[in-house]
Structure 1
Amino acid sequence: MSALVLLGIAIIAFVIAYKVYGGFLVKHLDLDDSRKTPAHTMKDGVDYVPAKAPVLLGHHFASIAGAAPIIGPVTAAVFGWIPAFLWIVLGSIFIGAVHDFSSIVASIRHKGKSIGIIIDHTMGKSGKTLFNIFAWLTLVLIIAVFANIVANTFVAVPEAGTASMLFIVIAIVYGFTVYRNNFPVIIGTIVGVALLLLSIWFGIKFPLVLSFNQWITILMIYVIVASIAPVWILLQPRDYLNSFLLYGMMAGAIIGLFFYNPTIQLTGFGGFKTNLGYMFPVLFVTIACGAISGFHSLVASGTTAKQIDKETDARIIGYGGMLIEGTLATVALITAAMLTKGDYAAAIGNGGPVALFSTGVGSFLEKISIPHSVGTTFTSLVVSAFALTTLDTATRLGRYIFQEFFERDSANGSVAKNLGTNPYVATIVTVVASGLLALSNWQAIWPIFGSANQLLAAVALLTVSVWLAKIGKNNKFTLYPMIFMFAVTLTALAQLSYKNLTLADAKLSNYVLGGFGVALFILAIVLIIFAIKTLKKAHEEHKGFSV
């Protein structure tokens, strides 16, 4: 079968879903542009900053994309391209996009605060405390994983290190010229993207060769600064400009794919049990960001909701952003599915998922007159740039969550300041914990990260379901996906925790990760109990309404 058929089915399904199911969600979430968003009512020039929909979509998409929608589908292709493809398409439409969209809306209605604060309002302070612990532990895992991905990529492709450092400088200049000196956005964007392309050329000419530990140190210092700096100076402009690189890579890959027209050669169904484990639950936690990811809810309620200009923008940014990511995941799957089983196994063993994807996209770009080596290097640079984006966004979110955990109301109703709410303390504690974990065995971190991340998605869906029930609205479109995600992730987390804690040659890192898993499992169960009690109470308050 032609890979174009696979891509065509995905794109058509996503377009129809955005129009039909996206419209259904707009109605049931009651979006209204007459309501002022937190970006306006709480504007502070640091975190709460109104952004136009295209700019915010760029930031949001760059933050949620990273390397996960590439690594997940390529890795999960071992189960066969059919189950992987079905999970990407159906998961994106009915679970992932709903999760992202509803998380943004719920946060907007709660002053742009995180899922933890929404839990506080719906399930009480104990629920908020448990969630903040849960979310912070998950973010520490995420930061550790992506620090490893970025550092390893920079070691393997030193050109990416040079280019990524230059990207940061360009973003800062863009932030000052456009946001502080009112330079025209269109002209600034054209110049900014041109400079990004120039920095890629510069990186190829002058690669920055450093060791893994050196890159980890540099990255940890960088994310400390990026976490505290105002969003307009780095986060917004860097993510916005970088999004054009990803859009360009995706567009080039799709156009090249039409000319290449590869045939699907990989096995359609690779078996219910593979070297990764059983299809249920492993497939559903391996392909995370390409179908649903709990990290998205933290981005949605942590940074995106603070920048939404008007409520209806949530549809294109939340629902649409996830469908774009589903398209990227489909392209990633095709780069694996066009290989034979033997070639796929060899590629995974030699270079890993990112190298396989970069080589595949390089082959597509070659069909539109871009040399294969240039296309492969460019793709590697783009992937590393977005992994870096996820890294500093996750650090900022970790800082928010840490501060919220220590927030206490003062006598006059304002938030009392203490050591825990200090942004510098919150950032340093988060980064030090993540950095230490990043220096351990990252291959062992990835499976736990996947399970914890997807469990976070289940908790976010649970939170939105409770919120909708409490205000008397239908919540079935979040409730049913939530039940499925809890079934998947609790099973996966239990299996992985047991494996790490019972290994005959277990190392300290295995015990730490096993302990992480047990802690997350227990916290999730307690939150479920809190939610069930709240749902029952909401059902009694809204007679005749089914929750």
Structure 2
Amino acid sequence: MIWFLLCVGLLIGGYLIYGAFVEKIFGINKQRQTPAFAQTDGVDFVPMSKGKVYLIQLLNIAGVGPIFGPILGALYGPAAMLWIVIGCIFAGAVHDYFSGMLSIRNRGQSVPNLAGKYLGKSAKHFMNLFAIVLLLLVGVVFISAPAGLLGKLTGWDVSIFVGIIFVYYLIATVVPVDKVIGRLYPFFGALLLFMSVGLTLALAVSSEYSLLPGVEVGDFFHNLNPNDMPLWPALFITIACGAVSGFHATQSPLMARCVENESNGRFVFFGAMIGEGIIALIWCAIALSFFGGVEGLNQGMAGNPANVVYQASTGLLGAVGGFMAILGVIILPITSGDTAFRSARLILAEFFDMPQISLPKRLLLAIPLFILGAILTQVDFGVIWRYFGVANQTTAVLMLWTASAYLLRHNKLHWICTLPAMFMTAVVISFLLNSATLGAGLPMTISTLAGVISTGFITALVIIKSSGKGEDDIGVNEQV
């Protein structure tokens, strides 16, 4: 248990110490009016309290990613927990903080416009296309996963739940943010935290199971995967949510439009990512503990992390408690899937310069997105998940470089964003070059070397192009 508690303590310490350091470098202005007040429209720009925005942000970013990803990552052993801690503090939370705060500083704009401002028009056009593709993949993944779990619980046909979830998504995507999301999500967020803690306590006091049995210091630095899967770079693609996730960059602007003061940003954006990291740690520890190690986990999972969720929840909490835990896991993806489609609608609205105050205009953008999403649900879930993982981390790379360019322009300590951007760039390029199914299928040595060289070139390019430009943030009353 000591290792688990140490990891949780490091995440909390990361929020208190490194979070304050990142906030100081960014330089908040408590007197600056946020878009929630400057652009209030009653639909997407709506002021909300800090606690409410935090819980909504946590649910927005915490789909099945911080559950399924860490369960799959647990096959590598405790090294997965080490990546969650380091990645969450120094990459993921920094990524989420800047994606939210830069949106606040730029009239609540979405990530493509932020990329365009700080990295150039080419980055904007690429990000527009890439963000829409990512959000559609997220929406589909977060329909299929909960529908499958609901089918397992009830015995009903999965397609029934797919249809029900689609109808809910459409409603939540077009109604004002405070009508459904603002009212229900704080409660769901509290339920998520309660059930995560409940599972941890049940495991800790269980006489049948032990929390991380037999784990030693050296295990955190070795690949224990029973299927001989290489740790580099696959682990850093497998565990995205909970460590660093580009999907969060598409979600932070939703709450950037609702934050009442810049001083709330660290709690809302940095803090929600730390919260997700703790959830990821919990499920990674449960996966390793409930099945007695990676060998047992590999057999119990049978290729589907949903099996782990079902077995561990019912095994630790009984039928009723297990049902409630699984219900919490079902809520997670649903409450991220609807905001994925909502983000896609807002990105399209910015691209077409189409105000979203009127319902017909919201439907005009939302309905085609749902038609595409319905088509994608017919594709095999495993295929969608693979593409989602790569698209997710590529988006994270672009957001981190955007934040780095911002800091360079303002002559601030850019390395807090540049270093994680460099690492994740090398991860993504190496993975794509090595992957036989998604990329070129090159040998790992060549793929890694090419990834490192490409990362060095991109780093030099961003530093040279961005240093010393000194461009001001867009004021709240300025035109984009």
TM-score by length of structure 1 reads 0.76
How far is the alpha carbon of 1:277 from its aligned partner?
3.7
| 2:116 partner letter | D
Task: Call closer, same or farther: CA 1:502–1:300 in 2, change over 3 Å.
Answer: closer
Aligned partner of 2:298 in structure 1 is 345
Q: How does 1:72-83 map to 2 (within 5 A)?
A: 72-81=69-78, 83=79
Aligned partner of 1:381 in structure 2 is 327
Aligned partner of 1:13 in structure 2 is 10
Task: Call closer, same or farther: CA 1:241–1:127 in 2, change over 3 Å.
Answer: same
Aligned partner of 2:283 in structure 1 is 332
| 1:430 partner letter | L
Q: Among residues 499, 502, 515, which one is paired with 2:437 in the alignment?
A: 499
1:536 aligns with 2:474: no
Aligned partner of 2:106 in structure 1 is 110
How far is the alpha carbon of 1:401 from its aligned partner?
1.7
Give 4+ residue runs of structure 1 displaced > 6 Å after superposition.
none
Tell me the distance in 2 between the aligned counterparts of 1:436 and 1:270: 41
Tell me the distance in 2 between the aligned counterparts of 1:501 and 1:109: 37
- How many residues were matched structurally? 446
Q: How does 1:55-454 map to 2 (within 5 A)?
A: 55-81=52-78, 83-158=79-154, 210-260=156-206, 262-265=210-213, 268=219, 271=223, 275=227, 277-301=229-253, 303-338=254-289, 339-340=291-292, 341-349=294-302, 352-365=304-317, 372-407=318-353, 422-454=361-393
| 1:377 partner letter | F
Give secondary structure in 2 for the equivalent of 1:73.
helix
Give secondary structure in 1 for the equivalent of 2:24.
helix
Give secondary structure in 2 for the equivalent of 1:278.
coil
Contact 1:104-1:297 within 8 A present in 2 as well: yes
Task: Call closer, same or farther: CA 1:237–1:276 in 2, change over 3 Å.
Answer: farther
Contact 1:272-1:279 within 8 A present in 2 as well: no
Contact 1:37-1:108 within 8 A present in 2 as well: yes
Contact 1:454-1:485 within 8 A present in 2 as well: yes
Task: Call closer, same or farther: CA 1:541–1:460 in 2, change over 3 Å.
Answer: closer
Tell me the distance in 2 between the aligned counterparts of 1:293 and 1:77: 18
How far is the alpha carbon of 1:534 from its aligned partner?
5.8
How far is the alpha carbon of 1:23 from its aligned partner?
1.0
% of aligned pairs identical?
Answer: 29
Give secondary structure in 2 for the equivalent of 1:487.
helix
How far is the alpha carbon of 1:119 from its aligned partner?
2.1
| 2:152 partner letter | A
How far is the alpha carbon of 1:31 from its aligned partner?
1.1
How far is the alpha carbon of 1:470 from its aligned partner?
1.8
How far is the alpha carbon of 1:251 from its aligned partner?
2.5
Tell me the distance in 2 between the aligned counterparts of 1:152 and 1:96: 28
How far is the alpha carbon of 1:13 from its aligned partner?
0.7
How far is the alpha carbon of 1:329 from its aligned partner?
0.9
Contact 1:122-1:534 within 8 A present in 2 as well: no
Give secondary structure in 2 for the equivalent of 1:116.
helix
| 1:468 partner letter | L
TM-score by length of structure 2 reads 0.86
Q: Which runs of 5+ in 1 are unaligned?
A: 159-208, 366-371, 408-414, 504-524, 543-547
| 2:255 partner letter | T
Tell me the distance in 1 between the aligned counterparts of 2:375 and 2:432: 22
| 1:126 partner letter | S
Contact 1:132-1:404 within 8 A present in 2 as well: no
Q: Which runs of 5+ in 2 are unaligned?
A: 442-453, 471-480
| 1:68 partner letter | G
How far is the alpha carbon of 1:346 from its aligned partner?
2.3
Tell me the distance in 1 between the aligned counterparts of 2:214 and 2:387: 27
